[in-house]
Structure 1
Amino acid sequence: MRFLLITFLLLISACSGYSKVLDCVCGEENDKGLIILHTSGKKIVNGSEVRPHKYPWMAVMMKSYHHVCGGSIISDMLILTAGHCMYYIPSPLKSRWIIGSHSVKEAVNARQQSYDTKDYDLHPLWKAGNLFDNFDMALVITNRRMTFTSAAIPICMPKVGDEKLFWNQKVVIAGWGRVEENGAQTDVLMESSVYLKTHRECKNLIYSINYDERSMICAHEQHTDACQGDSGGPIFAAKSNDHYVILGVVSFGDGCARDFPGIYAKVSEPVTIKWINQKIASTNSNVCRNPEFSFMKRVAETLVK
């Protein structure tokens, strides 16, 4: 029995592919964020302004001082975004990523950090040029290690099938995208709640495209949606341990806040989780502790004693 448990612990360590687990916890909402000193009144398709640094995994892609896409911190070297964000913009390696930011207009400060794009890796199953993107994801490799602070930490990775835990429940979308279809982009981070639909509901709602369960999830709420500029940002939810996991990446939709649900690239798929873990290992990335995996390890260690 002892041998089996030790083997189990070794497998956890080996399968993670992580170079080092830092003294931080992924997916922790920052409940000590800065007090909002103003109210913008803007709505990102029926959303509201986020308390500054509430979601410290949020990243924003800038190109020539303009906001292009969103993303999520995964490790101290990797940001997860949409494949189309990296493939279709001119000279993507000239883009930079801002983390620890609330307003894209604010000057660089102690909380805000800027990183250049060293390289990027498109999801191996994503095919450019498809009208409707399957596996629409890319991992951005930063030019140096990101520094984790209360305003900048990774979101937790999901386990396979985690999206099913939140079917027909409200989940969170956040970004710096347009406040209405073809309208102006917001300067501050906005959030909305949408209902995550089952795969069957998604297929019924999205009859005009070939909805793919392996690579897509969908969410919908009347008059509420991600919009242009939110691409690449996360759709996420808190698990029972109160830590947030990323469920998907903003991919595409029919306009903004219409009857058509928003489509998100699904993260909780074996091939996608494997791809991300392999990239974490190959970039020698460091990660924060995942409470779920840590709990499994503590249980096993207790049984070994």
Structure 2
Amino acid sequence: MIFQAFFRSAMIIYFLTPGDDAVEIIGGKDVKPHSKPYMASIQLHRRHVCGGILIKPGWVLTAAHCNLKFKDQNIQVVLGTDSLSRDKDNSVQKLMVKQKFPHICFDSESREHDIMLLQLQTEAKLNKFVNVLPQPKNAWDVNDGTICTVVGWGKTNVKSNKLSDNLKEVNVTIINRAKCNSKNYYNNNPVITRNMLCAGDSKGGKDACQGDSGGPLICKNELRGIVSLEKNCGLRDKPGIYTRITNEYIKWIRKITD
């Protein structure tokens, strides 16, 4: 009995310790079925590459660094499903991308201006399975300590290329930029600017990971960020970095999509 109790405790510690052995949308759970009708799986050759957000029937918002993976290949957006393997359900809509609009000032090294719009060849049909997540009208900054939610189909293990089949979500906490830029965190490499948000967990173990790029950061029921940098999945001192939805980006989106 003592051995069994010790074994159970050891296993719990192993699976909850952040780092290489505990990386998915870390600490997350499956979303309630069809509760995120704005979520888009952006795919090449029927394989998920990045997440995205349907913000208008004909437009998907995602991260500009995803364009480095797309290049000039045909891109497909899959809407209306929580499961990547159940892409033949009646709720699913598959739409091709007509044109890409990565931010002209995007810097792949600093991740500054990591935002991109995808124009669909045909508009999505809105219903209870597929719907838009409106962009915020005002770009207030997100205060330190605010609890937000990140959503995606990211990797379940940093040592594996396997993605999560089911859409997952996890709560993360906003960390102020000064702290995130300090030597105990990113040490200004990269620099977390006013165009970015930093979010994670004080103990680690809650984060986005590869495959979640381009997905939303929801704060107080509004879109406030886009998953940008998630290479250090789940580490306490390397929280996730998100493109912040600023007034500049709101104007940029409206200029392109209106």
- Select between 203-212 and 104-113 the one with higher mean Cα deviation: 203-212
Deviations 1:70-111 (A, max 9, x none): 00011111100110112333434x010011111110142221
In the superposition, the TM-score normalised over structure 1's length comes to: 0.71
**Structure 1 residue 212: Cα displacement:** 4.1
What corresponds to 1:216 in structure 2? 196
Say which structure is richer in helix. Answer: 1
**Structure 1 residue 112: Cα displacement:** 1.0
Matched, 1:152 2:134: no
**Structure 1 residue 188: Cα displacement:** 0.9
- Select between 118-127 and 155-164 the one with higher mean Cα deviation: 155-164
Equivalent residue pairs, number: 230
1:77-226 aligned within 5 A: 77-92=58-73, 94-127=74-107, 130-164=108-142, 166-183=143-160, 184-204=162-182, 205-221=185-201, 222-226=204-208
CA pair 251-75 structure 1, distance change in 2 beyond 3 A: same
Q: Which amino acid aligns with 1:64?
A: H
What corresponds to 2:4 in structure 1? none
> What residue ranges of structure 1 are gaps of 5+ in the alignment?
1-41, 239-243, 282-305
Maintained 8 Å contact 1:202/1:217: no
What corresponds to 1:270 in structure 2? 247
Q: Give the percent of matched residue pairs that are identical in Structure 1 and Structure 2.
A: 27
Q: Distance in 1 between matches of 2:43 and 2:231?
A: 24
Q: Distance in 2 between matches of 1:104 and 1:208?
A: 36
**Structure 1 residue 43: Cα displacement:** 5.6
What corresponds to 1:7 in structure 2? none
**Structure 1 residue 210: Cα displacement:** 4.3
1:246-261 aligned within 5 A: 246-258=223-235, 259-261=237-239
Q: Which amino acid aligns with 2:39?
A: M
